[in-house]
Amino acid sequence: MSTSSGAPFSNIGVPGAYEYFPLNSPDIGTVREGNEQIPLLFKPLTIKGIEFKNRIFVSPMCQYSADNGHATDWHFVHLGGFATRGVGAICIEATAVVPEGRISPEDLGLWTDSQIAPLKKIVEFSHAQGTKIGIQLAHAGRKASVHAPWVRDRTGRGRFDTAPEEAGGWPNAVFGPSDIPFADSYPAPKALTERGLLDIENAFVASIERCKEIGFDFVEIHGAHGYLLHSFVSPLSNNRTDIWGGQSLENRLRFFLRIIKRVREAWAGKPLFVRISAADWAEGPEKDDNGVWKQWGIEQSTILVGKLRELGIDLLDCSSGGNWVKQKFTLVPGYQVPYAEVLKKAYPNQLVGAVGLITEPNQAEEILQKNQADVVFLGRELLRDPHWAMKAAKDLNVKVKTANQYERAWPSLL
Ligand SMILES: Cc1cc2nc3c(=O)[nH]c(=O)nc-3n(C[C@H](O)[C@H](O)[C@H](O)COP(=O)(O)O)c2cc1C
């Protein structure tokens, strides 16, 4: 390894990195000295001793590009590109804790040890570039065994969603809280048994052990978008008659809380994020005039978050929808921010992340300034423009460190 660190002027390497990379000091995406006013977007945030250099987080985004659950060079390039461009944190896509918990056959997984190495390479690269990185652990529940979106689009979305066995799917081994399918075009789920629930719980813990070996800075549990944990808490998808469901809110929350309790114990002392859907967006009210819960909504979400807090979660990542095939909502900028704000107001000491059509630096800064959230997760806008953090620095008039290698493209940030 050549670091050329002996000479008075040399291209110093990252100390301890697995190969030579020029050292970026300070870290890419941190504010340079001498700025008069630092926007909140670029104020560091420390969670359980881990410092996130700014508040621009990459939202988890499935790439449908894994090889039998293993991250590939697509993931390395895709995620590595964010690590070099100044975001505060990268959250790797929904990663299944058991094979049948994948959404598509090409989802990432962390159910076996051979899946550790390619993720570790991504984490070590990200760390060498001074960027924090975590992973979203997930179980797709009744929304498992479907084609990647572009395959669905080509075959006729809503008609051939299910990935059959010939396409690597497992439509006969799809499980949910009840036997209610997400849609006619989706697999028919089987209701999980007590044994099945315990196996999933243990699988989350086993994946956490692998996360420790990989060296992730944080873990996010996927409790949103109609996947297993969300489907347990919603009365639309859970009509069990045992202690794990039905009309009783306490019963519907039980499995979600059980998973978080076990994960929290296993991932002690490190940042734990939880993504929830704050609403199902189904027709009608959350609760009817007789006090019967009709769908999942912000009232129950507020109760859930209170209990998640008691279990010691660190950050609540507030999304919505995905559990009701006929969901209706208007996609306006920041469409989910009002939910983040309600939860932030209910629990002022809770760190909250906002997500959903946050595309403009001033919009992101305003969300933080108004205390609607503490960090912003960006999805599609970062796919369009992986350099968004630099664009934000320019727009917000703050000088931020770019990668040495890209400095000549950003003279105004020097
Ligand atoms: C290609 C793609 C893949 C996604 N995969 C995930 C995922 O793995 N986990 C998740 O919680 N959300 C996933 N989402 C939702 C995003 O994380 C984000 O919440 C959503 O796109 C709204 O934010 P945006 O408007 O900034 O894109 C995905 C979105 C896209 C566009």
Mean pLDDT taken over the chain: 96
Residue 82: name the closest of 67, 108, 107, 63 by CA: 63
How many whole angstroms from 234 Cα to the centroid of ligand 1? 20
How many whole angstroms from 414 Cα to the centroid of ligand 1? 33
Taking the CA of residue 93 as reference, the ligand 1 atom at the shortest distance is 8
The SS3 of residue 180 is coil
Does the structure show a pLDDT above 60 at 2? no
Instruction: Find out whether the beta carbon of 385 lies less than 6 Å from any atom of ligand 1.
Output: no
Does the structure show a pLDDT above 70 at 335? yes
- Closest C-alpha residue for ligand 1 atom 13: 61
CB crowding 4-37: b at 16 or more within 10 Å, else e? eeeeeeeeebbeebeeebebbeebbbbbeeeeee
Instruction: Find out whether the beta carbon of 59 lies less than 6 Å from any atom of ligand 1.
Output: yes
CB 374 within 8 A of CB 352: yes
CATH number for region 40-413: 3.20.20.70
Taking the CA of residue 355 as reference, the ligand 1 atom at the shortest distance is 23
- Closest C-alpha residue for ligand 1 atom 7: 61
Instruction: Find out whether the beta carbon of 355 lies less than 6 Å from any atom of ligand 1.
Output: yes
**pLDDT 10s digits, 241-255:** 999 999 999 999 999
How many Å apart are CA 198 and CA 205, to the nearest integer? 11
Instruction: Find out whether the beta carbon of 380 lies less than 6 Å from any atom of ligand 1.
Output: yes
Instruction: Find out whether the beta carbon of 224 lies less than 6 Å from any atom of ligand 1.
Output: yes
Q: Mean of the pLDDT values across residues 268-292?
A: 97
Per-domain residue ranges for the chain? 40-413
CB 42 within 8 A of CB 360: no
Q: Mean of the pLDDT values across residues 365-376?
A: 98
How many Å apart are CA 130 and CA 52, to the nearest integer? 10
Does the structure show a pLDDT above 50 at 331? yes
- pLDDT bin (cut points 50, 70, 90) of residue 6 is low
Taking the CA of residue 103 as reference, the ligand 1 atom at the shortest distance is 8
pTM for the full predicted model: 0.97
Does the structure show a pLDDT above 80 at 4? no
Share of the chain above pLDDT 90, in %: 94
Instruction: Find out whether the beta carbon of 222 lies less than 6 Å from any atom of ligand 1.
Output: yes
CA-derived radius of gyration, the chain: 21
pLDDT of residue 5: 53
How many Å apart are CA 343 and CA 356, to the nearest integer? 16
How many whole angstroms from 33 Cα to the centroid of ligand 1? 34
Q: Mean of the pLDDT values across residues 357-385?
A: 98
Q: Mean of the pLDDT values across residues 100-129?
A: 98
Instruction: Find out whether the beta carbon of 341 lies less than 6 Å from any atom of ligand 1.
Output: no
Instruction: Find out whether the beta carbon of 223 lies less than 6 Å from any atom of ligand 1.
Output: no
How many whole angstroms from 61 Cα to the centroid of ligand 1? 5
How many Å apart are CA 112 and CA 75, to the nearest integer? 18
- pLDDT bin (cut points 50, 70, 90) of residue 153 is confident
Enzyme catalytic residues: 227
Does the structure show a pLDDT above 90 at 398? yes
Q: Give the mutation target among 57, 62, 384 for probing the ligand 1 site: most ligand atoms within 8 A of CB.
A: 62
**pLDDT 10s digits, 193-247:** 999 999 999 999 999 999 999 999 999 999 999 999 999 999 999 999 999 999 9
pLDDT of residue 308: 98
How many whole angstroms from 379 Cα to the centroid of ligand 1? 6
pLDDT of residue 1: 47
Q: Write down how long the chain is.
A: 414
Structure tokens at 103: 């959404």
Instruction: Find out whether the beta carbon of 378 lies less than 6 Å from any atom of ligand 1.
Output: yes
Q: Which amino acid is at 76?
A: F
